[in-house]
Chain A
């Protein structure tokens, strides 16, 4: 054993101290980095599909699957000719990282028209107060390039939660939530609640949009919209409305034509009186027989959880709400699609460790439904489950942080 001199001991002690300090700081830095990664909904931070937090699918007329996603602060698009087994090289729609709307109900939207033209829309936060702006773009060369991003309206008030749908004549219908009526109301000394449901349409495949118009004022400002067509030129929007007394229940409006909204009807009396952002919007699909299928979330005094209802009179009246999912498993994000061989609903459930996507199907236009069955699962955060059809089959589209992007046919399910 070698005895150390006092000087040697001091130097070693100092060295130890430095090493301890360095280790502590390294741990703190590593924790900061780890924490940063854990805080993210995405697996990584590049603009590639594997790093996406939100993915929206659409099939083109030739059966090509198109995806638009948010990853690495950018919006990208890619396509698959083999129903999701392999994808083309992604094309960046944005030229730089943008302050994209990452809200739980926000996602980029895509429609692919008969000529293969692609219309996109998405929201960004335009300022530090998180005021939103809806931007749109179009590709006329089969997704190889996208036009300059443009705002869907010149209004500088906050807009979010856009929806896009393709009409039978190839025009694109857009709807979104818009705060422009807040300032004039406040100037009149009136309290303004929520946001206006605005709409516009494009007759040139999403290259330009008509002047925006109001369908319904004072709707809930923080939930996704459900949009579908009841027939050519007749868009239908389901949205969380603000009824008398601050009740945030669902309402539906069927347009007489793309410029004329009809009467607003109530989907159900849930009596959810709340001054809050539920961040949990509805879903709508309309079958070829004209049946409206709606799913939604509520936490009202009349009922709580996820529900489904159908309307056979053009959205004037709805069936009694049918509960969806196991109430002790936090069911969320219901999505309905009336496909070529039946109607399907998917939603998420969480057991404290794992999230499952559950499916139930109906072969009589929503009168009776199969038992729920788990069709996918993951052990980390995930996007909303979505359904998409190529006109022949229905697919579940689901982005997960741990396991990447899934697209799976569900027609063989019960």
Chain B
């Protein structure tokens, strides 16, 4: 019995060391169908979805501002989606989210090499330019801001959103 348990422990330890640990658990893999998951999970709540990437210059400027915005607006759900197409990005992405005060946001990372399909599911007219922000009202109305969003515009939109109930 002891031998059986020991073998089990070794097996568990071996499996834990497998590549599953490659991506930090905080980043959710964004694959086929994830966009609908995001929309379903936040239905009825005002939500800001921010597409960005670590290799995008304007994104680096905007991200900390979004972190500040999230802190000041707890009634708005903030979702970030890293849409960069560079391999092995999890650590850099996580680090930049942490530095920007966004580690507690709902953070996703593109995890399907067929990015054309991922983008098509989000918005067929989106060709991959980042940053890109989608403001989703309680009623599900989506307003898209291409390029860097002005925080004042986010605030204006947020003020128009009736308070949500959890």
Contact = CB atoms under 8 A, between A and B. Distances in A.
Interface of A: 11, 14-15, 18, 21-22, 25-26, 28-29, 31-33, 35-36, 38-42, 102-104, 125, 128, 130, 221-222, 273-280, 297, 299, 304, 327-330, 332, 348, 350, 352-353, 355, 380-381, 401
Nearest to A38: B112
- Which residue, of A11, A41, A327, A329, has the highest number of chain B Cβ atoms within 10 A? A41
A41 B20 contact: no
Contacts of A18: 4-5, 8, 11-12
A277 B4 contact: no
Contacts of B20: 25, 28-29, 31-33
Interface string B120-134: 100011011111100
Where chain A touches its partner, the secondary structure class is: mixed
B117 A275 contact: no
Contacts of B16: 25
Contacts of B119: 330
Question: 3 shortest A-B CB distances, which residue pairs?
Answer: A32-B20, A29-B18, A274-B147
Given A130-B92, A297-B127, 18 more contacts: A14-B5, A21-B12, A33-B18, A38-B113, A39-B111, A125-B55, A276-B56, A276-B131, A276-B132, A277-B55, A277-B57, A277-B58, A280-B127, A330-B125, A350-B120, A352-B117, A353-B117, A381-B115
Contact of B146 (A39, A40, A276): A276
Interface string B1-23: 10011001001100110111111
Given A39-B87, A332-B127, A381-B114, A276 B1 contact: no
B85 interface: yes
A297 B129 CA distance: 11
A126 B134 CA distance: 32
B128 A280 contact: yes
A14 B129 CA distance: 53
B87 A130 contact: no
A25 B15 contact: yes
Contacts of A42: 113
A35 B146 contact: no
A138 B144 CA distance: 46
A276 B116 CA distance: 18
Interface in B55-75: 55-59
A22 B15 contact: yes
Contact of A22 (B8, B57, B113): B8
A222 B22 contact: no
Contacts of A380: 113-114
B127 A39 contact: no
Contacts of B113: 38-42, 380-381, 401
A273 B146 CA distance: 9
Interface in B1-59: 1, 4-5, 8, 11-12, 15-16, 18-23, 29, 31, 53-59
B85 A41 contact: yes
A218 to B, nearest CB: 13
Contacts of A102: 85-87
B87 A128 contact: no
Contact of A279 (B12, B15, B120, B128): B128
Most chain B CB atoms below 10 A, which of A25, A125, A328: A25
Nearest to A15: B4
Contacts of B128: 104, 278-280
B48 to A, nearest CB: 17
